[in-house]
Amino acid sequence: MNLSSPLPYPLDDFDYRLLDSGEFQKLERFGSHHFIRPAPQAIWPKTLPDAEWKRAEGEYNYFKGKESGGEWKFFKKLPKDGWPLKFHELTFKMKPTGFGHIGMFPEQAPNWIWIDELIRSSDRTDLNILNIFGYTGASTLAVAGAGAAVTHVDASKASVTWARNNLELSGLGDCPVRWIVDDALKFLKREHRRGRRYDGIIMDPPTFGRGPGGEVWKIENQLSELMLHCKQVLSDSPLFILLTTHSPGFSALTLKNMILKFIPESCSGVFETDEMYIHDNGSRLHLPSGFYSRWRNESVK
């Protein structure tokens, strides 16, 4: 698999499009299925005519006055077991969820490419990568496809099953992936006690979440603790750290500062820190979709 793309945003070989955005909504195509979902950042007018928006087979709206938690209205019957979506050589199953997600965050696509290229260009053949808050596993698949071992952790058994299924769908079922249903903090503390170390850590913590035992995750209260435990499980010469969020009030610089505070002083490296976005085909604007900060160790090849 070679995920390199000459485009600033990898639209080729990706069967997803943001077709239009505006008036706090976005119109997207996931494979051959169209949906309207909330886009609180899209404060501008829509570009495409109503007839295009009417192609949507489902619309998700937040409950009145809320910015998360809502419900779907479907206008057509969708495949009961979901449908596949291609990203280069990876295949993800798509299916609307109660949270308004369809099973994949398209704004993460440049990060999957970055992970893929970093691992492929490394001379190391024994890389061991950790993906916490791994959801349906897109980043896990990028690591596995590039040839490194990966541990995928998520609190939701259903998400881990979905991620495993995506790995199989992508023809990577024989890759060395460890699947863990656990609370992120509990898992990291245990790994530290056991002396396990990782050469790269990927994390996309939610604003709020719960571990399988009801453990409460609040990003503003627990991100420092999470980073401290990540530091304890980093190998002596880690290859990379990737931290992304979709949490209001968490800027790209905040994420970079969190990594800076916790990477070992002996490591020199390069940061890339910016806004995540999805290119809008209708308006030609970029729809803001969270933040990322990623660090790679310059002294490791």
Ligand X SMILES: C[S@@+](CC[C@H](N)C(=O)[O-])C[C@H]1O[C@@H](n2cnc3c(N)ncnc32)[C@H](O)[C@@H]1O
Please name which of 66, 75, 62 lies closest in space to residue 33, comparing C-alpha atoms. 75
Q: Is 217 in the site for ligand X (CB under 6 A)?
A: yes
- Which one, 245 or 283, has the nearer CB to ligand X? 245
Q: Report d(CA 32, CA 45) in Å as an integer.
A: 25
- Kindly state the number of chain residues that form the binding site for ligand X, as judged by CB under 6 A: 21
Rule CB under 6 A: choose which of 38, 145, 209, 282 binds ligand X.
Answer: 209
Stretch that binds ligand X, among 22-30, 205-213, 255-263, 288-296 (CB under 6 A): 205-213
- Which one, 122 or 156, has the nearer CB to ligand X? 156
- Which one, 55 or 95, has the nearer CB to ligand X? 95
Q: Report d(CA 79, CA 166) in Å as an integer.
A: 17
Stretch that binds ligand X, among 39-47, 148-156, 172-180, 287-295 (CB under 6 A): 148-156
Least Å distance between CB 51 and ligand X? 32
Rule CB under 6 A: choose which of 215, 267, 271, 288 binds ligand X.
Answer: 215
Residues 6+ apart with CB under 8 A from 260: none
- Which one, 76 or 210, has the nearer CB to ligand X? 210
Q: Cα 193 to chain center, whole Å?
A: 28
Q: Is 191 in the site for ligand X (CB under 6 A)?
A: no
- Which one, 100 or 282, has the nearer CB to ligand X? 100
Q: Report d(CA 2, CA 5) in Å as an integer.
A: 9
Cβ atoms within 10 Å, residue 282: 18
User: Order of strands, edge to edge, in the sheet holding 177-181?
Assistant: 177-181, 149-154, 128-132, 200-203, 240-245, 286-297, 269-279
Q: Is 183 in the site for ligand X (CB under 6 A)?
A: yes
Asked whether 129 and 140 are in contact (CB, 8 A), the reply is no
Which amino acid appears at position 117 of this protein?
E
Stretch that binds ligand X, among 7-15, 38-46, 134-142, 193-201 (CB under 6 A): 134-142
Residue 254: C-alpha distances to residues 247, 259, 260, 263, 289 (Å): 11, 9, 10, 15, 16
Rule CB under 6 A: choose which of 31, 147, 206, 288 binds ligand X.
Answer: 206
Q: Is 105 in the site for ligand X (CB under 6 A)?
A: yes
Which chain residues interact with ligand X by CB under 6 A? 105, 108, 133-136, 138-139, 154-156, 159, 183-184, 204, 206, 209-211, 215, 217
